[in-house]
Amino acid sequence: MSRQKSATDQITIYYEGTSVRCDPDKSVLDNLLDQNLDVNHCCKNGSCLTCLLKTDSEVDEKSRVPLKATLSELGYFLSCQQIPSDGMVIKSAASDDCFRKAVVTSMIKKSGHVSQVFLKPYGEFLYKPGQFINIKGPKDTVRSYSIASIPSDNVLELHIKEHQYGIVSPWLCADDRIGREIEISGPNGECFYLPENQDQSMLMIGTGTGLAPLLGIVRDSYSQNHRGKIELYFGAVDDPGLYLADQLRVLEKKYDNLTVHFGILKNGPINDTALKNHPDLKEWRVFLCGDPDMVKKTKTKAYLAGAALANIYVDAFEQAEINP
């Protein structure tokens, strides 16, 4: 195919039937947003999977790698990871392809503005504890939340931190949400327990509601008869932030090989404490969930402490831009 570039080297794509002149150095997502087109997005780095769009054109591998084969097959790609190509025809994510209904069954308010929210999706919902789902909130805003439950619970448990200027979290944690339907998609993510090498020691570090996926992973690993020890480090800014301390202490009593460590910020970052206690992570499996900066730094440190990259599982909680 021959194509002629304009003098300014701009290219044109077609989004929902509208032609959009694109800056070829920016992502499809940023180009659409620059034109004030309303596209769901959140982290813009390929983690949250909220910016899914659909095309029949060729896309780069990195725009598809994090997606499930079923979605790639349908033509979905991550618009934040894809550079536009001239003539690309793009459609918005058809709701019924990705989203399904679930009902909010109950909610428990915890300290530190965190709520445990329980959902029941309609129909069969297969997931691995530690994966995340996306929830569609007001104004079609989509946010990601990790799964703290295990399949035998028969409900999905999420830990939601209410953000003062948030769009989805205050809406989801409102008391009158109980009994009502919401739309969810997923599950996504690769931070979960694999039942192999079951005598392996596991180090888990979570900050804030980064505890949610870890709780799911701990319970899942025991339900699959993991025998190796688990050292779980749960850190928060202050005491109220350790919103699930009681439940963790109960869990610690229940499982002989589980040790839970708590830390608040004034005593130093929990990741530093953990790595000081476990300077040699050779042969360890490591899970890091929560603050993206903590996750990134600790991943490097865990690798330098001897953990193989393939043995390090991460779930970085990227924050959406908030406009108060």
Partner 1 sequence: MSENLFDRIGGNAAVDAAVDIFYKKVLSDDSINRFFETTNMDAQREKQKKFLTFAFGGPNDYSGKDMRTAHAGLDGLNEAHFSAVAGHLEATLEELGVPAAEVSEAMAIAASTHDDVLGL
Q: Using CB under 8 A, list all residues that contact partner 1.
A: 45, 47, 292, 296, 299-300, 303-304, 309, 316
Report the residue number, 242 or 281, with the smaller CB distance to partner 1.
281
Cβ–Cβ under 8 Å, residues 203 and 287: yes
Q: How far is the CB of 300 from partner 1 (least distance, A)?
A: 6
Cβ–Cβ under 8 Å, residues 121 and 154: no
β-partners of residue 289 are: 206, 315
Q: How far is the CB of 292 from partner 1 (least distance, A)?
A: 7
Report the residue number, 218 or 281, with the smaller CB distance to partner 1.
281
Report the residue number, 245 or 308, with the smaller CB distance to partner 1.
308
Q: How many residues does the chain have?
A: 324
Report the residue number, 1 or 309, with the smaller CB distance to partner 1.
309
Q: How far is the CB of 309 from partner 1 (least distance, A)?
A: 6
Report the residue number, 262 or 303, with the smaller CB distance to partner 1.
303
CB under 8 Å to 230, separation ≥6 — which residues?
201, 202, 204, 218, 221, 255, 257, 258, 259
Report the residue number, 137 or 213, with the smaller CB distance to partner 1.
213
β-partners of residue 260 are: 232
Q: How far apart are CA 158 and CA 317, in angstroms?
A: 14
For helices 211-223 and 245-254, the axis angle rounded to 10 degrees is: 20
Q: How far is the CB of 272 from partner 1 (least distance, A)?
A: 17
Q: How far apart are CA 49 and CA 142, in angstroms?
A: 10
Report the residue number, 90 or 275, with the smaller CB distance to partner 1.
275
Q: How far apart are CA 222 and CA 86, in angstroms?
A: 51
Using DSSP's 3-state secondary structure scheme, residue 274 falls into helix
Give per-residue burial for 279-293: e unless 16+ CB within 10 Å, then b: eebeebbbbbbbbbe
